[in-house]
Chains A and B, each alone.
Chain A
Amino acid sequence: MIFFRLKKEPLLLFILLLIFSSVAILKADDEAEEGEHHERGGKSEEVYKLNNRSSVVPVINQKFKSECTSCHMLYQPSLLPAKSWTKMMGNLKQHFGENAELDPAVQKEITNYLVKNSSNRFSSNQDVIRISETTYFKRKHDELSPSVFKRKGIGSAANCIACHSGAEKNDFSEENVRIPKETAGKIKK
């Protein structure tokens, strides 16, 4: 216990506690502000480019982050067109074989966020909900044999971060791709 090793008075404990709590409060404030910026910003297609060469990091909706990343990595809204997101969010009872039901208000907020920031690079009649089944994904990965995705360190094509470590920040750039070798150990978490 670090507290026991402290040579100073108990007052120090209180000071430490004060510092910790103010840091926490400041952080919470920052997050709240981020949300506001997003609201004010509105739709900005330029930010959400698949091959993100710009230095702008997309603003992430906090509900989307907390609800959608407990089971899987953060998939950027720009990875699918609006139609796909609407379709997916309308059937959370069967979400890729699992139940991912949400409170209706939360579901609406997240759907709006996804639609607002969805990709505009797909032809409008596309409503594939599996990212790896989109024409764009297939074209970008056509040099890889299906067995690559089954490697221990990857698992499936849904695990973008196994090869694109910046995937959650929308960085899918070619130069940052590192494909785990066949013998790779643990699945990347």
Chain B
Amino acid sequence: MRILKIIKFITTITFISLTLSQISEASEAILKELAKEARTADIKFVQFSASTGEKLFRTERIHSNGEKISCMTCHTADPKKEGLTRANKVIKPMAASINPNRFTDMEKVQKWFKRNCNDVQERICTPQEKGDFVKYMMSIK
């Protein structure tokens, strides 16, 4: 029976790691795609930085409507926690370690950067900023 236990253990581990690796592969692919976009936008592009991404996430600014705003307004100061939209809908955590499905669908990533950068920064974000942001969210343990 011992051998069966071992097989069971291996199967379980394989399942879990396969799923997780597929997910992290998907987010790596998104970073790669953003890097490509960044290179096209700026030939001097070197790499993405998680700490710059964190700064982007935390920096507050005054919106033209007079209100103080930042990513934290809806996502809270802790990306591992659930956020809340201004219309009372729960936003799943941003940190990929807590919510592995984050940053696995490029269409979704671009859609929300477009909307949220326009809302918070009142402009679109550069590919460098998007990559920094994603890298930060993927680096949180």
Contacts and interface: CB of A to CB of B under 8 A. Distances in A.
B115 interface: yes
Interface SS majority for chain A: loop
Interface string A1-38: 10110100110010001000000000000000000000
B89 A189 contact: yes
Interface SS majority for chain B: helix
Given A1-B12, A13-B12, A101-B114, A189 B4 contact: no
A57 interface: no
B87 A72 contact: yes
Given A9-B4, A10-B11, A13-B15, A98 B89 contact: no
A73 interface: yes
Nearest to B13: A3
A100 B111 CA distance: 9
Contacts of A71: 85-87, 89
Contact of A189 (B8, B84, B118, B119): B84
B47 interface: no
Interface residues of A, number: 26
B43 interface: no
Interface in B1-54: 4, 7-9, 11-12, 15
